[in-house]
Structure 1
């Protein structure tokens, strides 16, 4: 259920932020940013919010643009990232949508792969003590509830290929170019 007034109980604040890679759905709880979703057109945003409300047992609230409370800092930092002035997100994160091996891999990625660098799926698997689990690392990247902020676009194939990406390979190329890992497209 979506409310037009800020809920008093457990709630989820959400918005859709225009960006250089298309509309991004952002959702936060009082614990922190809980979800970033690429290509968040109205239908997709509505479905995602419905799923989050159900999974988190929280009421959804979409404030007027510029009136965000929980999302004010994530919005500011994402805008700075796309402007090229932010290299590391410093936000409280609500990790309830990730657990087990997936969370372990995402935490290691966030801790050890800085802006402007990449890591292979296999190397990241080894860093979490699971050499040979490159495919499982790929699955963890695909389940990342906080892409961009926990930068799964920085994980590439061990042989130098770009690999897959939940936001699409062109979005991954754009983000890696923004960070200086790949050249900017000519066209």
Structure 2
């Protein structure tokens, strides 16, 4: 249902409509739909900007159900994107995947964050990752534990954590890929059953 020419506000409203249709009690937080230069702001507010060919569109949203929250982000493309944009997308994707490979009970949130940061550094995008890797989700949308350079938490079995590396070039574009995982003794299990292939909308 997302098409070029729609506004960010329209897309955010679509996401909220579909969450309600599929049984959400409400939204976990104010939905983010940020396109083009607005995608370079991690906490952008939907505007009247229209989706244009060549834009990245970052969608960050979550539903509530029975008192619990959820949180996910995907960045998609409106039309064809440049090779540099695709490289950023891939860098963020691999940072997400590498962090999930590292997450398990008894590692620190700081270590989990450092894995994603190292991957982005290797791709040349480390300096564009300006926030922590993730946070706990449950009865609140942001709760313990955290995964960041300053995290003091040790991950434990059963904790729910977001894994949301990103890269943002001010005035140009940004990418974020976010999943929710449950920490296990030998790894983690992804609760976000949505493709991470780059979706291109023509």
Relative to the length of structure 2, the TM-score reads: 0.33
Bigger relative contact order, structure 1 or 2, given CA contacts below 8 A and separation 6+? 2
Higher fraction of strand: 2
Q: Which protein is richer in helix relative to its size?
A: 1
